[in-house]
Structure 1
Amino acid sequence: MNGGQPVVVGLGPVDPALVTEWLGDDVRLVTDPSAADLAEAQGAIVRAAYVVDRAALDAMPALKVIARTGVGVERVDVAAATERGIPVAITPGSNARAVAEGAITLAAALVKRVPQEHRLVSTGQWGTAPIPTPGDLLGSCLGVVGYGRIGRIVAQLGQALGFEVSVHDPYIQADDLPNRSLAELVAESDVLTLHVPETDRPLLDRDLLWSAKPGQVLINCSRAGLVDIDLLDEALEAGVLGGVGLDVFASEPAPHHPVFDRDNVLVSPHVTGLSVAASEATFRMAAQAVAAVLAGGRPEFAVNAAELVDASR
């Protein structure tokens, strides 16, 4: 027992230096919790691929609040949390700029054929093998799927680099940008970048992917389930796609996949949203949400806030 000191557990990698100040001195943070720690936990900060299902909730009977870094809650059983009266807080906007920069960075590197050029030099083939010809950003079509916080910044950065930007979002007005159907955007984009929530089926199936503009670069810094990694590998092998950049995976840490070995592929460990500034903002918001509930209040951004209010009536 901890003498009445509230316990907050980190589920997934949580840096104490980024949250302790906001949780307060009277809270005990445990980043590698035992079963006993989980049983006492009143708050949980959840990140990366950690799954909070019914079994996980059963292991935390004292839990009062879940704070999920970022905005995705597909790995949290929100319905089960709501049944228990537990708010599920998110941190909207905290890492939008960082993710957008990451997506554009992957796109630019692949268009410019940086991986191939690096391998040519690093393996001593400069002078003996053909030099890859870099592509151009200026005048290329950047297709942005999803025009929310991240998609808007991606579009702005793309325009600043000279891309002709089009979007697909049936729910949001895209300002002065062309808003295409998904099929149109896939067919016309030199670079296609995904910034939408995951659903119960892939966004891009075989028929849609094989209709892509030849040589298209596909970027996914959103959700792994939007497009199957095996299908991406097939599309690269068939020459349907010219490059792929991935920051998200179905299982994390990701087991090795043959697509990782291709010289027109760039992968990163789900880190685009964790720049220095974004990490500070994300964990601050998560810790503040936990602290608010432990102090008897409510988190500012809870995905199940309305359901909890209805249940209390």
Structure 2
Amino acid sequence: MIRILANDGIDPIGKSLLEEAGFVVDTETVPQDKLIEALQNYDGLTVRSATKVRKDVIDACPNLKLIGRGGVGMDNIDVEYAREKGIAVVNTPAASSLSVAELVFAHLFTGVRFLQDANRKMPLDGNTQFNSLKKAYAKGIELKGKTLGVIGFGRIGRETAKVALRLGMNVLAYDLFPHTGSLTLDFAGGVSVDIPVATVSLEEVIRNSDFITLHTPFAERPILAAAEFDQMKPGVGIVNCSRGGIINEQDLIDALDSGKVSFAGLDVYDNEPTPLAALLQHPKISLTPHIGAATNEAQERIGVELASLIIEHFNK
């Protein structure tokens, strides 16, 4: 009987699908320092972003036949090394795209209307400084008609661009693999519209966007740092719901303090789970704790897709 450890959890529907197919699925989280010992009893492991599967784990668990990542990025897994050892590594890149895209816009709407600061100050000063706060937050802007720069035009980047286009925004997109074509926007009532979108250079995105959102794989050095911030429009807004390390965090703080960047929305950080205090306390940053894929709908899609991939692999 094949045993799967879903160490970071799995949606109940995905768990049920695996059990109906004859798998044993355990969902009790094993601490990282106990993982190798626990995995001696399992044929497969599923993780999200919390559990790390590095070479030491792979080498110590020759019985492991599959590692599944519920979500997109696999930075927490030594993927190529695992595959060299004959372990299948799978993920669910499409399942969470819309959830991440909607979180991007939660941060954008928050930033353009100062909600991150208002939500901090209203409970403290709302009954004594109401008019002052009203004046402080009176210069919001609309997203319609503005330009969103999308760095990384894979599944999530394209889903984010679709939301922007539905709002009446312009889109500038960059990707390592150029794209020429259209995006299909689906509306209620069965109406669909195709909008042409072609990628441009990274420099064009950086120079000409009113807001920039990142959706790239892990990079060895930050994609946005002081040199890039210097090239941006004054008052640009930055959102990162992709992964930590692709923005130089100190350079971002400097750009926020100077006013070059008007606000930032961050879901991911360099030092998770202990982000830099200066980020957490900054009045111009909208903060979430790495919840891009954390919607009920996305987790159900992830669970179903992950279960299907596991069943397919072990039934070969």
TM-score interval for Structure 1 and Structure 2 normalised by the shorter chain: 0.7 to 0.9
In the TM superposition, what whole-angstrom CA distance separates every residue of 1:55-76 from its partner, at most 9, and x where no partner exists?
Answer: 1112322101111112222221
- Tell me, yes or no, if structure 1 residue 62 matches structure 2 residue 82: no
- Give unmatched runs, 5+ long, in structure 1: 298-313
Q: Alpha-carbon deviation of 1:225?
A: 1.8
Cα distance change of structure 1 residues 118 and 182 upon mapping to structure 2, 3 Å threshold: same
- Tell me, yes or no, if structure 1 residue 23 matches structure 2 residue 8: no
Among 146, 157, 162, the residue aligned to 2:163: 157
**Aligned match of 2:180:** 173
Greater mean alpha carbon deviation, residues 159-168 or residues 241-250: 159-168
**DSSP 3-state at the match of 2:172:** strand
Choose between structure 1 and 2: higher strand proportion: 2
**1:68-107 to 2 correspondence within 5 Å?**
68-107=69-108
2:11 and 2:303 in contact (8 A); partners too? no
Q: Alpha-carbon deviation of 1:178?
A: 5.6
Q: Alpha-carbon deviation of 1:182?
A: 1.4
In the TM superposition, what whole-angstrom CA distance separates every residue of 1:168-226 from its partner, at most 9, and x where no partner exists?
Answer: 22522253236332122112211100112122221112211222111111001112121
**Aligned match of 1:14:** 9
Q: Distance in 2 between matches of 1:263 and 1:101?
A: 22
In the TM superposition, what whole-angstrom CA distance separates every residue of 1:227-252 from its partner, at most 9, and x where no partner exists?
Answer: 12222112212222111111112333
1:147 and 1:174 in contact (8 A); partners too? no
**1:193-272 to 2 correspondence within 5 Å?**
193-272=213-292
**Aligned match of 2:305:** 285
TM-score between the two structures when normalised by the length of structure 1: 0.86
Cα distance change of structure 1 residues 249 and 162 upon mapping to structure 2, 3 Å threshold: same
Q: Distance in 2 between matches of 1:179 and 1:255?
A: 32
Residue type at the aligned position of 2:306? A
**DSSP 3-state at the match of 2:6:** strand
Q: Distance in 1 between matches of 2:155 and 2:84?
A: 30
Q: Alpha-carbon deviation of 1:123?
A: 2.1
Q: Distance in 2 between matches of 1:231 and 1:157?
A: 29
Cα distance change of structure 1 residues 18 and 260 upon mapping to structure 2, 3 Å threshold: farther
**DSSP 3-state at the match of 2:300:** helix
**DSSP 3-state at the match of 1:266:** strand
Cα distance change of structure 1 residues 170 and 36 upon mapping to structure 2, 3 Å threshold: closer
Runs of 4 or more above 4 Å deviation = none
Q: Alpha-carbon deviation of 1:294?
A: 2.9
TM-score between the two structures when normalised by the length of structure 2: 0.85
Greater mean alpha carbon deviation, residues 268-277 or residues 108-117: 108-117
Greater mean alpha carbon deviation, residues 192-201 or residues 177-186: 177-186
Cα distance change of structure 1 residues 116 and 32 upon mapping to structure 2, 3 Å threshold: closer
Cα distance change of structure 1 residues 226 and 255 upon mapping to structure 2, 3 Å threshold: closer
- Tell me, yes or no, if structure 1 residue 148 matches structure 2 residue 149: no
- Tell me, yes or no, if structure 1 residue 131 matches structure 2 residue 136: yes
Cα distance change of structure 1 residues 255 and 155 upon mapping to structure 2, 3 Å threshold: closer
Greater mean alpha carbon deviation, residues 169-178 or residues 240-249: 169-178
Q: How many residues align?
A: 291
2:43 and 2:64 in contact (8 A); partners too? yes
**Aligned match of 1:305:** none
Greater mean alpha carbon deviation, residues 152-161 or residues 128-137: 128-137
**DSSP 3-state at the match of 2:43:** strand
